Structure 1
């Protein structure tokens, strides 16, 4: 295969804007009811549980909920239930949000069952609403992504972020964020049309690289790093821009590649200093949406809100990752040693 537009990964990622529009129209009443339920519950803490790309969506949800609603969010390790069999008594009367494309992973099912027995409000963000996870959950938030045959998840990940943005924008009552969320289908269409080929040219020979984000963009940095690993065999590691200076930056020498997803809120503090420090080491740097002398700027749509910007960034990144994978001779739809449903216990 030498045409990147002929992969399933490319085709499915291109559907994200239509899926977002369908999701928002289909879930409007459900989200309103869920917001009412959560406000009445008045949770003191929220738990998430997921693996892989879905766990990266949970990272986005954590920062979104903590910055907009000021409710602590904790990632619950699936193994606490599936391996150690510990009761989840600390979850009583608190929301437990599980995120899954397939809704079939055994460890998530065991976690959902344990949380229900502990008295948690079990909520599933899931693409397959006929799945065992949907049956276990008290509330199901469908992603409406439709069939996703490429092993490399794209539209289901994007539309998990869309669903969290939908929920939190209404829960918080922030009109500006609500308007940005309503524009997301068009924002995603515009993001998909952006040309990130300069980033592909910069990164296509990478063996190792860093992907940086912070706050709301950390989850999409994690997701992009995973996609580089699984589709192109690149040893890509995601770091917070605040954490990379605590040791990992010692690896950055001349020619070392970095991809940066800058946040559009207060978390951007220190970005300029970090970029210039890496440029001083002659690193190869691509930055989404911001121009620095000596770095490649990757275009983004205009009028981005800090909540929706990460979703636009990851949408554009999928086309770039897909192109790099094909150029390196990989099949992004069938990464080696991977399958669609991960049978982790």
Structure 2
């Protein structure tokens, strides 16, 4: 058994730790955000953490109506740009909290008048120390290069901020049940997925709304652990230029939680199959997933099951999912 699989299965306990140890800080932050009403949210992250930021973006824009944008760290660290961020909320998401460009962007946002919140797994890291508020992920050590539980807890942290900000009972309840939902997700297997993915020279991973950044995360994991060329697209965007690659047998993995985009997603899936593509759908009677009781949160449980499925593909291909050939756990960029 790889560290990747072990760590993915630790996500339910890690999520429970995060929610328990940060309950007071989340409640205080939620009250502060309701009082100050930030007009915009900025996020700073790279890799899997940036995918978690993308999930957070959809939740804030759908549920709060507050625009949320990922700011390129090089704007500050390389190009010396000056931010105008007075009154904004600036979220930093990082496993290590050490990358100089991420820390520089957070510092610039704080200097510009933003409230800075760091969601990091290393609580004594520069990003954690320099933020106005640190929400430690408490995911525990990850030995595998492929981030799994830290990504999932980052998504849980993002939805918890939104839930406490809204002070919405239904959403808060769904958040509190996420550790149980994730425990169910860890038990689910996709027996046909290995054969579907292992011989793919290239494939698409698709989603819409909150499931799109989950598709991006799945595509990233297929690349880094399996060396499979996987591209992630929004269901809407794939209907443009990328559609030209649809042909007989072309593999597509599509996420379809039971949210407002479900009907549109299934219409697109039908068109892909008509064009000859081999489409596997997570949800909608296809590959099973653990429902959270709130459709916008279901992508979090979907990625846990996906991680375990991808780990099996890597092993089948004779690759070590914990030690990709060219990658390392902490990447420090400028």
Q: Which interval holds the TM-score relative to the shorter structure?
A: over 0.9
Question: Can you list the C-alpha shifts for 1:70-95, whole angstroms capped at 9, x where unaligned?
Answer: 1010111101001101111x211211
Q: CA deviation at 1:115?
A: 1.4
**Contact preservation (8 Å) 1:165, 1:307:** no
The aligned residue for residue 31 of structure 1 is 26
2:6 to 8, 11, 23: 11
Distance in 1 between residues matched to 2:74 and 2:288, nearest whole Å = 40
Any idea what SS the aligned residue of 1:258 has? strand
Matched, 1:304 2:293: yes
Q: Which runs of 5+ in 2 are unaligned?
A: none
User: Does 1:283 find its partner at 2:271?
Assistant: no
Q: Which stretch of structure 1 is more off in the superposition, 129-138 or 198-207?
A: 198-207
Distance across 1 between alignment mates of 2:110 and 2:164: 26
C-alpha RMSD of matched pairs (Å): 1.1
C-alpha contact (below 8 Å) 1:47/1:73 kept by paired residues: yes
- Which segment is superposed worse, 164-173 or 75-84? 164-173
Matches within 5 A, 1:39-58: 39-58=34-53
Distance (whole Å) between structure 2 residues aligned to residue 167 and residue 119 of structure 1: 20
Alignment of 1:261-340 (within 5 A): 261-291=255-285, 297-302=286-291, 304-340=293-329
Instruction: With the length of structure 1 as denominator, give the TM-score of the two structures.
Output: 0.95
Cα deviation for residue 201 of structure 1 reads 2.1
Say whether the 8 Å CA contact 1:216–1:263 is kept in structure 2. Answer: no
| In 1: Cα distance, 2:27 partner to 2:232 partner | 34
| Equivalent of 1:149 in 143, 147, 154 | 143
Q: What is the aligned length?
A: 334
Superposed, 1:212-231 pairs within 5 Å as 212-231=206-225
How high is the TM-score relative to the length of structure 2? 0.98
Distance 1:302 1:105, change over 3 A: closer
Higher mean C-alpha deviation, range 224-233 or range 113-122: 113-122
The answer to whether the 8 A contact 2:208-2:265 is kept is no
- 1:233 pairs, out of 223, 227, 231, with 227
User: 1:100 Cα shift?
Assistant: 0.2
* Match of residue 177 from structure 1: 171
List runs of 5+ in structure 1 lacking aligned partners: 1-5, 292-296
Tell me how far apart the structure 1 counterparts of residues 55 and 287 of structure 2 sit (CA, whole Å): 21
Cα distance in 2 for residues equivalent to 1:332 and 1:299: 23
- The answer to which of 127-136 and 275-284 deviates more is 275-284
